[in-house]
Amino acid sequence: MTMKVLGYAAQNATDDLAPHHFERREPRTDDVVIEILYCGVCHSDLHQARNDWGGSSYPMVPGHEIIGRVLAVGPGVTRFKAGDQVGVGCMVDSCQHCSACEKGLEQYCEEIPTYTYNSLDRHDHMTTQGGYSEKIVVSDKFVVRVPDGMDLKGAAPLLCAGITTWSPLRHWKVGQGSRVAVIGLGGLGHMALKLAKALGADTTLFTRSPGKEQDARRLGADRVVLSTDDAQMDSVRGQFELIIDTVPYDHDLNPYMPTLSLDGTLVLVGFLGALESMLHTVPLIMGRKSVAGSVIGGIAETQEMLDFCGENGITAEVEVIPIQKINEAYARMLKSDVKYRFSIDMASLKAE
Confidence of residue 326 (pLDDT cuts 50, 70, 90): very high
pLDDT of residue 346: 98
Q: Given a cut of 90, is residue 95 above it in pLDDT?
A: yes
Decide: residue 28, CB within 10 A, 0-12 exposed, 13-18 middle, 19+ buried.
middle
pLDDT of residue 273: 87
Amino acid at 321: I
3-class DSSP assignment, residue 255: helix
Confidence of residue 351 (pLDDT cuts 50, 70, 90): confident
The model's pLDDT over 24-75, given as tens digits with 9 standing for 90+, comes to 999 999 999 999 999 999 999 999 999 999 999 999 999 999 999 999 999 9
pLDDT of residue 272: 86
Q: Given a cut of 90, is residue 161 above it in pLDDT?
A: yes
Domains of the chain listed by start with CATH number:
3-160+317-351 (3.90.180.10), 162-293 (3.40.50.720)
Confidence of residue 352 (pLDDT cuts 50, 70, 90): confident
Could you give the C-alpha distances from 288 to 175, 238, 281, in angstroms and in order?
21, 12, 10
Could you give the C-alpha distances from 249 to 160, 192, 245, 270, 338, in angstroms and in order?
18, 18, 11, 8, 17
The model's pLDDT over 105-127, given as tens digits with 9 standing for 90+, comes to 999 999 999 999 999 999 999 99
The model's pLDDT over 253-287, given as tens digits with 9 standing for 90+, comes to 999 999 999 999 999 999 988 998 999 999 999 99
pLDDT of residue 345: 98
Short-list 309, 319, 316, 312, CA closest to 342: 319
Confidence of residue 2 (pLDDT cuts 50, 70, 90): confident
The model's pLDDT over 184-204, given as tens digits with 9 standing for 90+, comes to 999 999 999 999 999 999 999
